[in-house]
C-alpha cells in the first residue's frame, strides 16, 4: 500500500519567475486567465444553448458546473502564482478537483443513460472538495491524486466501454490527450523554459494547453448532434 504523499515544497519553485508590470511570476499568472476566459465562455454558451444539446438536465447541469469550476480554477491559479505556497495552492486545487468530478458526472449521465438528478453531482463534487481539504489537513495528496487521475481514468473507461449518445464521441479522447500533453509540459517545466531560450516555461504551456483542452470540449458540446441509431 502506498504511504502518504506529502507536498514537495520544491513544487512551488517554477522556472519562469520573471516579473512584468510589478506582477511576480507574470507568465504563470497571466496564462491562468485562459481558464477564466474559457470557463466563462462555457457558462454563458451553455446557459443560452441548453435545449436539445444534452441527454438530460443532469448532464447539462454537470457541464455547467464544470465550466464554472474552470473559471474559478483560473482565478485560484492566478492567486496562487502571485505568491506560491501550500495555502494558496489549495485555492487552485479546490475548483480543479470539483471540476474533474463534474466532468465525470456529465459523462456518466450521458454514456450510462442514467438520470441521477442532482444527487450524483453533489456527491462527486463534495468528494472532490474533500480530497483537497484532506491534503491540507494531513499533508497527504493521495485522495487528490485519486480524484484527478482516477476520475480521468474512469472517464476514459466509460467512453471506451459505452457508446456515445452524440456524434464525434471520440473527441473526449482527443481532449484527454491534450490534457496529458499539458501534464507532461508541467513535469518538464525548466527543460522547456531552457529549450525556448527563456521565453516560455513548461508550466505556462501547461496552463495554455489545459485551457485549450477545455475549449475543445466546449466546441464539441456546441457542434455535436444526436448519434444515429447503432452509432458507437
Copy the grid coordinates of residue 180: 496529458
- What is the distance between the alpha carbons of residues 224 and 66, in angstroms, rounded to a whole number? 18
Cα–Cα dist 151/170, whole Å? 18
Between CA 124 and CA 214, with CA 134 as vertex, the angle to 5 degrees is 45
Residue 23 backbone phi and psi in degrees, to 5: -100, 115
Q: What is the pLDDT of residue 90?
A: 98
Place of cell 485519486: 146
Report pLDDT for 1: 65
From the number of C-beta atoms within 10 Å of its C-beta (0-12, 13-18, 19+), residue 105 rates as buried
Q: How far apart are CA 53 and CA 75, in angstroms?
A: 28
Q: What is the pLDDT of residue 51?
A: 58
- Under the banding of pLDDT at 50, 70 and 90, the label for residue 50 is low
Report the number of distinct structural domains present in the chain. 1
3 in any annotated domain: no
32 lies in some domain: yes
Write out pLDDT tens, residues 56-100.
889 999 999 999 999 999 999 999 999 999 999 999 999 999 999
Instruction: Give the list of residues 6+ apart from residue 10 with CB closer than 8 angstroms, or none.
Output: none
pLDDT at 231 over 70: no
Q: Quote the pLDDT of residue 11.
A: 95
In contact, 112 and 58? CB cutoff 8 Å: no
pLDDT tens figures, 2-36: 789 999 999 999 999 999 999 999 999 999 999 99
Is 60 exceeded by the pLDDT of residue 103? yes
Q: Once rounded to an integer, what is the mean pLDDT over residues 126-131?
A: 98
Residue 125: per-residue pLDDT: 97
In a domain, 177, yes or no: yes
Higher-confidence position of 228 and 195: 195
Average pLDDT score over residue span 218-231 = 81
Structure confidence by residue, pLDDT tens digits, 147-188: 999 999 999 999 999 998 898 889 999 999 999 999 999 999
Task: Please indicate, yes or no, if residue 12 is contained in any of the structural domains.
Answer: no
Query: Domain for residue 143, yes or no?
Result: yes
**Domain contains 16:** no
The predicted structure's pLDDT at residue 229: 56
In order, the DSSP letters of 103-117 are HHHHHHHHHH----T
Cell of 175: 481532449
**Is residue 106 packed enough to be buried (19+ CB in 10 Å), middle (13-18) or exposed (0-12)?**
buried
Is residue 9 assigned to a domain?
Answer: no
Quote the Cα angle for 29-30-32, to 5°: 70
DSSP for 56-68, please give it.
SHHHHHHHHHHHH
Query: What is the pLDDT, as a whole number, of residue 232?
Result: 46
What cell numbers appear for 22 in the block? 510589478
- Rounded to 5°, the CA angle 170-174-175 comes to 115
Domain that holds residue 79: 22-223
| Mean pLDDT score of the chain | 93
Q: What confidence tier does 118 reach under pLDDT thresholds 50, 70, 90?
A: confident
CATH of the domain at 158: 1.20.1070
Comparing C-alpha atoms, which of 142, 136, 151 is closest to residue 97?
151
Within a domain: 149: yes
Amino acid at each position: 500500500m502506498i504511504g502518504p504523499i506529502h507536498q514537495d515544497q520544491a513544487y512551488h519553485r517554477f522556472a519562469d519567475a520573471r516579473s512584468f508590470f510589478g506582477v511576480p511570476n507574470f507568465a504563470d499568472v497571466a496564462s491562468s486567465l485562459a481558464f477564466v476566459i474559457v470557463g466563462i465562455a462555457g457558462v454563458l454558451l451553455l446557459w443560452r444553448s441548453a435545449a436539445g444539446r444534452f441527454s438530460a438536465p443532469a448532464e447539462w447541469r454537470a457541464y455547467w458546473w464544470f465550466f464554472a469550476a474552470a473559471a474559478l480554477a483560473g482565478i485560484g491559479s492566478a492567486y496562487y502564482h502571485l505568491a506560491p505556497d501550500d495555502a494558496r495552492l489549495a485555492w487552485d486545487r479546490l475548483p480543479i478537483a470539483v471540476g474533474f468530478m463534474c466532468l465525470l458526472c456529465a459523462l456518466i449521465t450521458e454514456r450510462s443513460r442514467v438520470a441521477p438528478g442532482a444527487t450524483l453531482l453533489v456527491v462527486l463534487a463534495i468528494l472532490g472538495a474533500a480530497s483537497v481539504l484532506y491534503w491540507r489537513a494531513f499533508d497527504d495528496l493521495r485522495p487528490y491524486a485519486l480524484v484527478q487521475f482516477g476520475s480521468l481514468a474512469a472517464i476514459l473507461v466509460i467512453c471506451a466501454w459505452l457508446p456515445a449518445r452524440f456524434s464525434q464521441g471520440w473527441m473526449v479522447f482527443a481532449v484527454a490527450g491534450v490534457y496529458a500533453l499539458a501534464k507532461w509540459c508541467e513535469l518538464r517545466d525548466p527543460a522547456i523554459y531552457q529549450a525556448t531560450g527563456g521565453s516560455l516555461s513548461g508550466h505556462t504551456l501547461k496552463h495554455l494547453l489545459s485551457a485549450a483542452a477545455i475549449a475543445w470540449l466546449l466546441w464539441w458540446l456546441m457542434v455535436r448532434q444526436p448519434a444515429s441509431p447503432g452509432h458507437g
